[in-house]
Structure 1
Amino acid sequence: MDCEVWSVCIHYMPRFQCPFQMPTSRSLGSCKPPSSTKASSMSPEHRPTTKGMDTEHGYEDEVEAASSSSLQATSQRACDTCRARKIRCNRERPCSHCVSNNVECTQTDIIRPRIKHKRVLLTSQYEQKIDQIDSRLNEAIGLLKGLHETLKTSPGAPYIITPKPTSMFRSTEPKSSSITVVEGESSLAAQFSFAEDFIRKVAKTDPLQTSGLEMGESLENLSQIVAAYKQQLVSEETNYPNARPTKRPCLHTWELPPIEESVAVIRVAKSQRLAGTGWIYEYLPMNQFSTICLDVYFTEHYSEMDFIIVNAGLHSMFKDYSTIVIEDERERCERHALLCCANLETALSNLPLHMPPIPKAIIALLFGAFHAIELSKPFLAWTLSSKASEICQTLGYHQESSLKSGREEDDRFTKFLFWSNYFVDKSLSLRLGRASTLPEWTITVTRPSFMDSHPEPALAYFVLWVEAARCQGKIYELLYSPDSVGQRDEERTSRVKSLISDLENLDKATSETNKKWIKTAADTAGQDLMDFYETSDETLRLSLLTLVHRAAPQDLGSSMTFSPDCVNAARATIEKHKDCIAVMKRSGDTYFPAYFQWTLLFAPFVPFVVLFCHVIETVDQADLGRLGEFVASIKDAACVSSAATRVHHLFNALHGIALRYIEYRSVQSYDNQPQSDPEIDWVLATLALPPSWDEGGSQQFQEGGSNILRGNAVVDNRHCDATTLEETSIGVSENRSLMRMGHQMELESWFYNSEAMTGILKQYETKSTEES
């Protein structure tokens, strides 16, 4: 037994009787009931055996026995004279000393009072243990409540409980369930927020004419979800949907897919014909992955990182393999994939804060980040990739001077790990509007180039992904970070041109790489997969190009919010998206989830917002048709994730608003004079939108366009009709207007109440069907 175990035993020994200790007379005597006061003063050997304890007079018998024994005990004490003179007494009555001196021999009975022992007060250690027990009880109650809710809402779902964040100690900090997430200026939420600000300003500046269309109820429902969908809770964004609650897990007791099935799917994966498993070969050669699998299956001496790596790899393999097998085998593979997914998420959710700075930890964290991205949880991916960045920097992977191990293979693998982390970090920096954890000025290791020689296609295309991530990081840093937003127009224009040049170079590098590797890659992975990669990467690049143009300062004298280059880039993105959809249709939509996660959600998909605003300004029917085609093409978002469904609702709602707005614009008065519509003004006031006013304000709107673009716009009601304002929106515009909040506001919160959003869309679809 080691020292720690001994210390624990010693700590608890005083509280319990040792089970291996033989009973003694003292230990047995301690079990007797308390006796009288006199009895307490007797020595153990002279205490009488109590009798009659089982009778109704047992207690009196004990008292009498104690009293009689007390008289006997007095003869065993020295007499008063000997005790006073401090001389030896023979303890007889009378004693020899008193007889010889002819003095009275007396003995006085002394009854010593029973000492009352005070109870030891609780120490801080015991208080801490009580607090721990209390918190664990609360945790158990919370898990039971969560189980009840899970069974109530999903009676046919697997028995999987999502853990709630708890603390072992009491805290005064606010609970994470009540904290909302905040995204930056480049986030998708900020782009939708801009669209919302835009339509409000247009509604204020553009004359709307009374029509027979019944929009009041639909827009009123939309206004009700404005407040409801603003709150995007941290507890919802940072939990794993399939994670099982546990303490530090005993990993070797967890269920895994049968070893025969795992070996079979690994053999299939070695052919590299599975879409999602190419990344595994670079992070771990197949022989190493097989070795780690054997360790996890047949030994108990493996780390949490090994467990995460194995389950992440098997989850991807079984998931991809299920798309190319027959029905019965597909169900079995999907079942194994779900099991590995639950294992992976549970292990990730229980990772310690302080992880060992080793390469395996980086691999496990990156696998977790990739999985979080596929769950549409960028905040969770950011948490994992940030920890990986910390370990990379701890190990010095970002510095060229630290990568001189003497072995070229080890240095290549180290660089691959670092640039993989760089790829995730820079991409999420733009997606979430946060500063990168890997600043460019700290990186001295050589960035991979498409001019380098690569042994296989995966590494060649990996270079392009790293370069795209670098552009994403620069877009946030130079155009959307708090510092860049306040730069002069000349500086921002210069930065826009620089980033456009970088994206053009990326396009050229992509063409060169395709010429060199596309055929080899297609022979290995299949033509459909490579066509999907090509079109989806081009869609992402055009989306980034639109995002760059969208940040360009407005040209002097321009009547449009966005430049023609920005609108054209948005149109090109939507067209390339259509090409990608056509490629995916050839494969039965196998790649649709990956496309949604790694293209539409991986970077802010601003082209839709740009075309939406352009349609509002120009009533362009062709662009309105592009918006409708785009929404229809992603109607299967519900099969991807709940986040994808919410984004689809956003796009669908914006398209519906644009369509209704154009219908209003098409209804003009005979005298062609702008008029105020009380019903519309009331609805706009309910939505915190400024009411309509005369065309003289259009110039005011255009002049404020660049400020709106930068999130600094304020509502100007100088041109509003005073009577209309008083009747429809007194105090509403000042108290509820989002224009003053810039783009930190999350427009996605509009549509958090999916039932309300679905009701609006169903109303519009029903009305459109009846009219047709």
Structure 2
Amino acid sequence: MQQDALNSDPGDDARSDTPTKTAHPLSCDQCRQRKVRCDRGIPCGPCSRRREQCVYPTSAKPRAKRQRALVSDGYESKIDHLSVKLDKVLASIENLESSFGQIDTSAPSTRTNLAENTPLSLAGSALLHKTPVEDHSGSELQRDAVLATQAAFATKFAQKAVDSSHLLQVSPDVRPCLDALRDELKERGPGHGDPKPPETRGISAGASQHHFTLPPIQLAMAAIHKLKGRFKSSRLRFCWCMEIDVGQFVDYFFTVYSGTPSLADLIIVHCGLHNLLVPYGNQQKDKTSQDNIKSQAALCQQNLESILANLPFSIPSTYDFALALLMATTYFVQRCSMSQAWSYLAAAAQICLTLGYHREVPSKPEKKQERQRRVRLFWLVYIMDKLLALRLNRPSLLRDRDITVSYESYGETAVDSSLPIAPKWIKMGMLYGRIYDEIFSPGALLQPSTPRETRARELAVELDCLFDSKDPVEESFMEELPEHPDDLLPRLVKRADRISHLAIITLIYRSIQPSSNTGSAFCNECLSSAKQCLEEHKEAFSLLQDAEPSTVELYVQWQVVNA
């Protein structure tokens, strides 16, 4: 026994009191609940020390059998799904492109390489999904509230004059014409003459690119060479964009046709091509060539309106965008959409102020050509601002007291520039701004009538003197207009300029109250200038009797804006 005692392990007694170990795969419920380490004995150590009942789960939850990911099968189904979606997107894009109503030309044309209906992609824009309206003949008046209001007022005034007993001899055709005009005004807008809101094109939310079809490059270059060449046409030069010279336009032209344009480049080129192709097509003697060129001009107009309709709210303050917005302003003025023109002009004026174009000293050093373009752009924005502000009875965007850049020394322009800026026109713009501020502004209307009438007469005299003054730049331009003695354009331009002047003079005298014993709503000076203006209109229409429709359209556009 002693030997057994000696051979026995002294730790056996201690181990006899410890829990029996087991190979249980899971910890007991109590240890897992308390989140302590379990030695998996029966009972386990923690439960023995706490004298708790040690309970193990009856069976372990079977582990899911691991399976290797089938990359080929899983991703193949996703790729197929994406492929189907892409096919649908491409099909919808093709339908959208076909819905643009691209004008097919019946004339045979060899459009190869870059010239073959050049597609243009513009990243970051949205695709249009509504076909632009091609017929603008009945939509321009209803787009502008000012024109609609003035047309309605003129119709009512003429109707009262015809119904008056003072007019004993009235042509029998006058009343039917007035009735037809009044009915036309009611049909053009809802609410008896109120203009309809301008149509906006819808935008596809998921689209990311614009696709435009440009005119053939051979056709565009032929028109540019006609404008810039040795035997350049005076009509093309007169209809060309005043905002940009031909050499500068060619740089934008090749940028767009190279396929890497910005939004500003697109607006500039489409405005320029539209203004160039319309008179260039009218000069063609072949009817097929005329239709072909006019269809390309309509294509430029369609693209331009699509781009302008989707301009972002935030526009970079750069020279290119200021120029593009000014050209867009001129486009809408020609379309008689004064309210839209004012919106784009306001953006252009804001960019000019941001860049400091109104200051004599530039914010950074600039070359001579850069200064010429900068000053030219600013004064064009200034002239358009004063003209439209007076036309719309609004305060001007650019105030004279904020402008320090000089116009006295500005007479140098590029060699191939279309229309130079005469200092006389800038002075006219300044007078237009004073006419609104001193006669028609809300503050001026609150003042007594006597000093207001005195200022009106002074402004009328000052405007007459300025109109009759000679300007070397203006005279040089007028001397270059005639091509041959039978050309109506020089005579028409001079007469239209005088009509515009008489219309402004009539507007000034309109603010003067008539004498109490006349029984008229207008003073004698107002009636006299209005009669002179109508006589000039009659002379102009006598010149237009045998003129081409394009010449008549040009005259009407000019007078709607200025008269």
TM-score by length of 2: 0.67
Deviation at 1:387, TM superposition (A): 0.5
Q: Shift of the alpha carbon at 1:281?
A: 6.9
Cα offset, 1:280, TM superposition: 5.2
Q: 1:274 Cα deviation (Å)?
A: 5.7
Query: How many Å separate the matches in 2 of 1:417 and 1:377?
Result: 22
Query: Cα distance, 1:423 vs. partner?
Result: 1.6
Choose which of 357, 382, 390 in structure 1 pairs with 2:342: 382
Paired amino acid for 1:582: S
For residues 323-362 of structure 1, what are the structure 2 equivalents within 5 Å?
323-325=282-284, 326-362=286-322
- Equivalent of residue 386 in structure 2, options 397, 405, 426: 426
* Structure with the higher helix share, 1 or 2: 1
Query: For the structure 1 residues 467 and 379, does the alpha-carbon distance in structure 2 shift closer, same or farther, using more than 3 Å as the test?
Result: same
2:215 maps to which of 257, 263, 266 = 257
Distance in 2, matches of 1:345 and 1:327, equals 27
3-state DSSP class of the match of 1:487?
A: coil
Q: Which has the higher contact order (CA 8 A, sep 6+)?
A: 1
Look up the SS of the partner of 1:507 in the other structure.
Answer: helix
What's 1:76 paired with? 25
Within the candidate set 308, 331, 341, 2:267 is matched to 308
Counterparts of 1:183-332 in structure 2, within 5 Å, are 189=149, 193=153, 196=156, 225=186, 228-233=191-196, 235-236=197-198, 239=199, 245=203, 253-271=211-229, 272-273=232-233, 275=235, 277-278=237-238, 283-300=243-260, 302-325=261-284, 326-332=286-292
Deviations 1:268-312 (A, max 9, x none): 121341635557576434333222222211232x21001111111
Question: Which residue matches 2:356?
Answer: 396
Q: CA deviation at 1:95?
A: 7.3
Instruction: Give runs of aligned pairs for residues 98-109 of structure 1, distance below 5 A.
Output: 107-109=55-57
Is residue 79–residue 105 contact of structure 1 (8 Å, CA) maintained in 2? no
2:220 maps to amino acid: S
Structure 1 residue 394, shift from structure 2 partner: 0.9
Superposed displacement of residue 435, structure 1: 0.9
Whole-angstrom distance in 1 between the partners of 2:228 and 2:503: 34
Counterparts of 1:254 and 1:479, CA distance in 2:
47
In the other structure, the counterpart of 1:486 is 446
Q: Is the 8 A contact 2:372 2:413 kept in 1?
A: no
SS in 2 for 1:581: helix
Matched residues, percent identical? 22
The corresponding residue for 2:558 is 598
TM-superposed CA distance for 1:498, in Å, is 1.9
Q: Report the 3-state secondary structure (helix = DSSP H, G, I; strand = E; otherwise coil) of the residue aligned with 1:376.
A: coil
SS at match of 1:552: coil
Taking the aligned partners of 1:526 and 1:245, their CA distance within structure 2 comes to 50
Q: 1:441 corresponds to which letter in structure 2?
A: R
Alignment check: 8 A CA contact 2:28 2:57 kept:
no
Counterpart contact for 2:26–2:60, Cα < 8 Å: no
Shift of 1:526: 8.8
Asked if the contact 1:188–1:431 (Cα under 8 Å) also holds between the matched residues in 2, the reply is no
Alignment root-mean-square deviation, CA: 4.7
Q: Which amino acid aligns with 1:317?
A: L
Give how far 1:480 is off: 1.9
Rounded to whole Å, the distance in 2 between the matches of 1:81 and 1:442 is: 85
CA separation of 1:88 and 1:427: change in aligned 2, threshold 3 A: closer
Q: Which letter does structure 1 place at the counterpart of 2:219?
A: E
What's the offset of the Cα at 1:250?
6.2
Deviation at 1:563, TM superposition (A): 2.3
Task: Identify the residue that residue 629 of structure 1 maps to in structure 2.
Answer: none
Matched, 1:497 2:457: yes
- Pairing of 1:465-480 with structure 2 (within 5 A): 465-480=425-440
Query: Cα gap change, 1:569/1:295 in structure 2, threshold over 3 Å: closer, same or farther?
Result: same
Where does 1:84-99 land on structure 2 (aligned, <5 Å)?
Answer: 89=39
* 1:415 correspondence with 2:364: no
SS in 1 for 2:344: helix
Partner of 2:131: 161
Deviates more, 1:359-368 or 1:559-568: 559-568
**Matches of 2:279 and 2:407, distance apart in 1:** 31
Question: Compared with structure 1, are the counterparts of its residues 503 and 513 closer, same or farther at alpha carbon in structure 2 (3 Å cutoff)?
Answer: farther
1:254 aligns to what SS in structure 2? strand
The CA deviation at 1:462 is 4.4
- Once residues 468 and 192 of structure 2 are traced to their aligned partners in structure 1, the CA distance between those partners, rounded to angstroms, is 41
SS of the equivalent of 1:253 reads: strand
Query: Does the 8 Å contact 1:162/1:245 carry over to 2?
Result: no
Equivalent pair of 1:468/1:506 in contact (CA under 8 Å): yes
**TM-score between both structures, scaled by the size of structure 1:** 0.50
1:124 is aligned to none
1:552 corresponds to 2:522 = no
Q: Pick closer, same or farther for the CA change 1:96–1:369 going to 2, 3 Å.
A: closer
Q: Equivalent residue for 2:17?
A: none
Specify whether residues 82 and 454 from structure 1 end up closer, same or farther in structure 2 by C-alpha distance, changes over 3 A only. Answer: closer
In 2: Cα distance, 1:160 partner to 1:88 partner: 73
Structure 1 pair 249/268, CA: closer, same or farther in 2 (3 Å)? farther
Question: Would the aligned equivalents of 1:369 and 1:385 in 2 still touch at CA under 8 Å?
Answer: yes
